[in-house]
Amino acid sequence: NAGVTQTPKFRVLKTGQSMTLLCAQDMNHEYMYWYRQDPGMGLRLIHYSVGEGTTAKGEVPDGYNVSRLKKQNFLLGLESAAPSQTSVYFCASSSQGTVPHEQYFGPGTRLTVT
Amino acid sequence: GDSVTQMEGPVTLSEEAFLTINCTYTATGYPSLFWYVQYPGEGLQLLLKATKADDKGSNKGFEATYRKETTSFHLEKGSVQVSDSAVYFCALSEGHSGGYQKVTFGIGTKLQVIP
């Protein structure tokens, strides 16, 4: 099992450009999450999904959109990148069937917006 | 709302030293508590967990006890190794109206172990 994978690993964008980060999991997990990690702030939840076709806002959703068309994939989009979105982005997934929900993380995407 | 407090560090220790990383939390209900570890260039991975008061989680020589009376979940290891150098995150989870367990993370404590 690959677990949770993320593409790309690194990306540099200019202000105003758009991009999509892809997250894939092969554990048949129902729940998926996108976090951003910034120095001194820990991990903050951007958006999450409790199942295929459903998404919801987390703590810091502004400037991001997400889609979950297939259970195994969770996409994070930046329509018009801003320097404030320079961060490391982590995708995670968890199973509905285990309590408490242990979250499994991908290796992260380091995004720089200039 | 829920919150988790831990020092950011870095904490620098010599190999074989005793480690304590403090974690305290605020929660409205009865959360589950976790320690996650992030090695350089990698994502977070679960180190240990505890689901109720007085539970002790343990893994790879690390331990933490769920102390409800002091709302704490301090991480300890008796003898650290260079390979333990990483960032350690304390976290709690509670049920959420969205149908999943919301996880709140601390800011992470960087541990540096020197030979």
B104 membership: H or E segment, kind and range: strand B101-105
Q: How far, in Å, CA of B14 to CA of B80, rounded?
A: 8
Per-window interface: A 14-43 vs B, CB < 8 A:
31, 40-43
Q: How far, in Å, CA of A52 to CA of A56, rounded?
A: 12
Peptide bond just before A61 cis, omega within 30 deg: no
Q: Would you call A43 and B45 a contact, using CB atoms and an 8 Å cutoff?
A: no
Going residue by residue through chain A (114 aa), what tens digit of pLDDT does each one get? 779 999 999 999 999 999 999 999 999 999 999 999 998 888 999 999 999 999 999 999 999 999 999 999 999 999 999 999 999 999 999 987 666 678 999 999 999 999
Per-window interface: B 76-95 vs A, CB < 8 A:
89, 93
Q: How far, in Å, CA of A42 to CA of B8, rounded?
A: 9
Distance of residue A106 Cα from the nearest chain B Cα, in angstroms: 5
- Which of A102, A107, A108 faces B46 most closely, judged by CB atoms? A102
State whether residue B46 sits within 8 Å of chain A by CB.
yes
Q: Which chain A residues touch B44 with a CB distance below 8 Å?
A: 43, 90, 92, 103, 105
User: A108 — alpha (psi -120 to 50), left (phi > 0) or beta?
Assistant: left
Model confidence pLDDT, tens digit, residues B17-68: 999 999 999 998 889 999 999 999 889 999 999 999 999 999 999 999 999 9
Q: Would you call B98 and A48 a contact, using CB atoms and an 8 Å cutoff?
A: yes
The pLDDT of residue A98: 65
